[in-house]
Chains A and B, each alone.
Chain A
Amino acid sequence: MKPRRLGAWLVIVFGVLYFFVPLLGTFEFSLRLLRGVYSVAAYRIVLADPRFAATVTYSTVLALATIVMGVALVVPTAYWIQLRLPRMRPVVEFITLLPLVIPAIVLVFGYLRIYNSSSALPLTGSARTTDLLLMFSYVTLALPYMYRAVDNGLRAIDVRTLTEAAQSLGAGWSTILLRVILPNVRVAVLSGAFLTFAIVIGEFTMASLLDRPALSIISFAITWACMGFIQVFGRGAPGQVAGAH
């Protein structure tokens, strides 16, 4: 047993080195803004940059809108599939996996072809509608994770009994969804939401700010915080988090 454990430690140490040295390198580089001395000047500049605040605000609003839209789309659908249309489950599951199969850049290419400014639905025509298209593309990117998280949550509760109980007390569909089903799958929804947040925020490194090393560390810290929240909220519901690029 002893040499095996030694081997296991060696593998782990190798992994730690591979994963932490680049972070260390970025961090060290971010401190080297001033010649010859280490300083946090890079962070001060980034944090004081009005474009940074604007970008973060924009990304946060976009992420929240994406989450609301994603939840509004996925929860009723997954609920309905579970309750009334179990035969449709394979079809819906297949569709939710498509964003993992079709490269994101291909999807964007398709959007530009359908929604360009000279098409029937010119979503790229103005800044507002471009934001809308951006939100929908993030909903699409997050769909596999969101759907799987919510579906796992729904499988863990007795949807049918809850629905019947609510109906027998006179609840309508909106009451059932908002006040019975949603609170019961909130852990799953939250873990899907944080992952969506991480995906959207991960894109916030806008071109104008690309030359700022401090931003890499900040971006990583935000992703890390989101994943930490998933772990905290998603305890006992493993196997929901897997990334794709």
Chain B
Amino acid sequence: MAEVAPATGPSSAAPPWVSEVSWAWVGVVPFFVFALMFLILPTGLLVVGGFQDKGGHFTLRNLLDLFQPTILNSYLISIKVSAASAIGGALVGFALAYAAITGGLPRWVRPTLMTFSGVASNFAGVPLAFAFLATLGRTGLVTALLVHVFGFNIYSIGFNLLSFSGLTLTYMYFQIPLMVLIMAPAIDGLRREWREASASLGASTWEYWRYIALPVLWPPLLGATLLLFANAFGAVATAYALTGSSLNIVTIVLYAQIRGDVLHNQNLGYALALGMILITGLSNAAYIWLRGRGERWLR
């Protein structure tokens, strides 16, 4: 912290910082230097690189090349997995949070769920992939148990952990807890009186949800789903540990590109990253906008 304002005695009438406001910005210089070096410049250079050809001239070629089938397909798989795990995680997470908060359960349920959600929302990567392999893999605990007890093999009906459905199921392990953490405040804001008032006016449970709860809750619900989408879209370690490179989601393609220029075009790699930033950026922006709308009622 730089010395920007000499300590003024308590006798001075004006607060000590009034006269020297023009120097106050010096105090945040370290932060902005850090942000520039480790956030803005690295990202900015990738974005610029996405618009350049090998000679450094401006071009839109790389962006157009993103639409070649293999790359487009990897984006589509990523979007599909992210959307499925976001919607699934949002539904289950909301149900869990709603049950724990308004379900009339013992008092300890809610803090336990919140603590656990804090843990599980950070559980990803290799350990998570391993947990699901040990459970639902070909020789996993549940797979073996189902064969033993019911003589029923889930792999015989087309389930495969190393595929779209398996990856989605695995992602939901950190998506559901994140949803619980985000939605708990919004559910808290759903006042008990609204339900009682609607019931005393003769509304059914369906009508309560249709005309009161959902109109209030939809901005935070949709916003949280978008946040979950962005969360899954950027995940790479879990998918890589689980499927290796057999499921070509876009983060794995980028990972391979970083390791060994598999696209044979550095600038196309930058464009790939740019596309990812665009997608997560848009869904985050929509989340922030929706959160602002939701706060009107949920105070």
Contacts and interface: CB of A to CB of B under 8 A. Distances in A.
A36 interface: no
24 contacts: A5-B103, A8-B105, A9-B99, A22-B173, A84-B17, A97-B284, A98-B35, A98-B43, A102-B277, A103-B233, A103-B280, A105-B236, A106-B254, A136-B34, A139-B34, A168-B10, A172-B7, A173-B3, A205-B126, A210-B241, A219-B127, A223-B123, A238-B114, A242-B121
A224 interface: yes
Given A9-B105, A15-B96, 10 more contacts: A8-B105, A11-B95, A14-B92, A106-B277, A136-B38, A164-B15, A167-B16, A168-B9, A202-B125, A245-B234
A24 interface: yes
A28 B95 CA distance: 29
A45 interface: no
Which 9 A-B pairs give the minimum distances between C-beta atoms? A8-B103, A110-B42, A103-B234, A25-B135, A243-B121, A25-B141, A8-B99, A29-B134, A80-B27
B103 A216 contact: no
Contacts of B241: 210
Interface in B220-249: 230-238, 241
Interface of B: 1, 3, 7-10, 15-17, 21, 24-25, 27-28, 30-31, 34-35, 37-43, 45-46, 49, 92, 95-96, 98-100, 102-105, 109, 111, 113-116, 118-127, 130-132, 134-136, 140-142, 172-174, 176-178, 181-182, 185, 230-238, 241, 251, 254-255, 258, 269-270, 273, 276-277, 280-281, 284
Nearest to A171: B7
Contacts of B142: 21, 25
A104 to B, nearest CB: 6
A167 B178 CA distance: 43
Contact of B134 (A111, A112, A139, A213): A213
A210 B176 CA distance: 26
A198 interface: yes
Contacts of A210: 126, 241
Contact of B38 (A22, A139, A239, A244): A139
Interface in A71-128: 73-74, 76-77, 80-81, 83-85, 88, 92, 95, 97-114
Tell me if B's interface is mostly helix, strand, loop or mixed: helix
Given A11-B103, A80-B1, A109-B254, A28 B141 contact: yes
A216 B174 contact: no
A25 B143 CA distance: 10
A206 to B, nearest CB: 9
